[in-house]
């Protein structure tokens, strides 16, 4: 293997092509991807001498998954946390660890990854965690197939169908859609009335539709569907004023708000979609520009 950093998407696509060809020839279920089987056969496929010899459930406190090399035998062990409730999250974790094996095993012999590492979908792929996430999302939800599932009006029914098809969490399916859509869409994960994290499509970012959740706690707007505890589920969406979520939006700009919630941890997942023509930046006066130039 060369020392040039490998592209996560390219490496995942190599496996996607192999799986496409295999299933065209032999039938069987193409989706969800059987990551365990693929991990065990990967070294054989590429003629590598340091295979993943075991994929095993384990209880690793604080970690969703790990990858460990036995230096004597040159064999790798892939572990995933069995106490994670969702099969979708387990599959994503396995694919994330397979990503480390393919992309990073020349650099490290031990990988331990947290739940947070599985949500590090940084577009610039600055670190190995975001690269492993990129690999996993491309492997589990290949774009050519994902695009075929998406209808004109995207809602949580459509994205929920995708989550089922690929055997991933609804969150992973939403993030995959946000990565490539030209719509202005934002996902917000909140708990007890505050945002845990939020992610915007590129078009939404350019229109000013994003939340800075890392700086300080951002409250969920009181008038939003997300804050309405009487409505637990709204998969196709309600149209509300965009100003509810974005203070600088025009009052008449509509926004389609969808939500799913889980009672147990008071968690709400919201999907916000703005019209393609919408812009929610603060309107800046000539005085503002004069002030910002000064200092
Ligand atoms: Zn990782």
The residue range of the domain holding 12 is 8-143
Distance from Cα 130 to the centre of ligand 1, integer Å: 8
Encode 198-220 in three state secondary structure: EEECHHHHHCCCCCCCCCCCCEC
Is position 245 within any domain? Answer: yes
- Whether 151 shows a pLDDT value over 90: the answer reads no
At residue 67, the pLDDT reads 97
- Whether 27 shows a pLDDT value over 80: the answer reads yes
Min mean pLDDT across 149-153, 201-205, 253-257 is at: 149-153
Report the alpha-carbon distance of residue 104 to residue 77 in Å, rounded.
15
Residues 213-232: pLDDT tens digits?
Answer: 988 899 999 999 999 999 99
Residue 164 makes CB contacts below 8 A (sequence gap 6+) with none
Residue whose tokens read 């190995």: 128
Both 139 and 220 in one domain: the answer is no
Q: Which of 93, 127, 143 is the last residue of a domain?
A: 143
- Whether 284 shows a pLDDT value over 80: the answer reads no
Is position 248 within any domain? Answer: yes
At residue 252, the pLDDT reads 95
Residue whose tokens read 């001498």: 49
Residues 89-108: pLDDT tens digits?
Answer: 999 999 999 999 999 999 99
∠ CA 124-89-73, nearest 5°, is 85
- Please state the pTM of the whole predicted model: 0.91
**Taking the alpha carbons of 218, 220, 221, 222 in that order, is the dihedral positive or negative?**
negative
At residue 2, the pLDDT reads 44
Both 34 and 108 in one domain: the answer is yes
Count of the separate structural domains present in the chain? 2
Distance from Cα 109 to the centre of ligand 1, integer Å: 12
Min mean pLDDT across 78-92, 116-130, 140-154 is at: 116-130
- φ, ψ (nearest 5 deg) of residue 88: -60, -45
Is position 172 within any domain? Answer: no
Distance from Cα 163 to the centre of ligand 1, integer Å: 21
Is position 232 within any domain? Answer: yes
Distance from Cα 133 to the centre of ligand 1, integer Å: 8
> 85 near 161, Cβ under 8 Å?
no
> 261 near 232, Cβ under 8 Å?
yes
Distance from Cα 112 to the centre of ligand 1, integer Å: 6
Min mean pLDDT across 44-53, 88-97, 107-116, 119-128 is at: 119-128
């Amino acid at each position: 293997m060369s020392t040039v950093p490998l592209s996560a998407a390219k490496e995942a696509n190599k496996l996607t092509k192999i799986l496409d060809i295999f299933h065209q020839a032999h039938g069987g279920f193409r989706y969800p991807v059987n990551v365990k089987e693929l991990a065990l056969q990967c070294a054989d496929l590429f003629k590598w001498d340091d295979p993943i010899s075991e994929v095993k459930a384990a209880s690793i406190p604080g970690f969703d998954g790990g990858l460990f090399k036995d230096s004597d035998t040159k064999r790798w062990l892939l572990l995933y946390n069995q106490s994670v409730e969702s099969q979708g999250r387990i599959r994503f974790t396995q694919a994330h660890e397979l990503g480390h094996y393919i992309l990073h095993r020349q650099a490290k012999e031990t990988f331990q990854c947290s739940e947070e590492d599985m949500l590090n979908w940084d577009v610039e792929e600055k670190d190995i965690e975001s690269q492993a996430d990129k690999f996993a999302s491309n492997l589990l939800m290949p774009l050519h197939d994902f695009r075929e599932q998406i209808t004109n009006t995207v809602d949580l029914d459509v994205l929920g169908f995708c989550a089922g098809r690929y055997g991933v969490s609804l969150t992973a399916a939403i993030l995959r859609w946000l990565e490539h859509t030209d719509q202005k869409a934002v996902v917000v994960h909140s708990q007890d009335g505050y945002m845990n994290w939020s992610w915007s499509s590129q078009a939404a970012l350019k229109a000013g539709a994003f939340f800075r959740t890392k700086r300080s706690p951002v409250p969920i707007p009181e008038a939003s569907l997300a804050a309405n505890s009487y409505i637990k589920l709204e998969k196709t969406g309600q149209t509300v004023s965009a100003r509810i979520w974005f203070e600088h939006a025009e009052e008449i700009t509509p926004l389609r708000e969808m939500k799913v919630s889980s009672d147990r941890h008071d968690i709400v997942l919201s999907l916000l979609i703005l019209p393609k023509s919408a812009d929610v930046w603060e309107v800046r006066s000539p005085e503002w520009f004069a002030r910002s130039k000064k200092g």
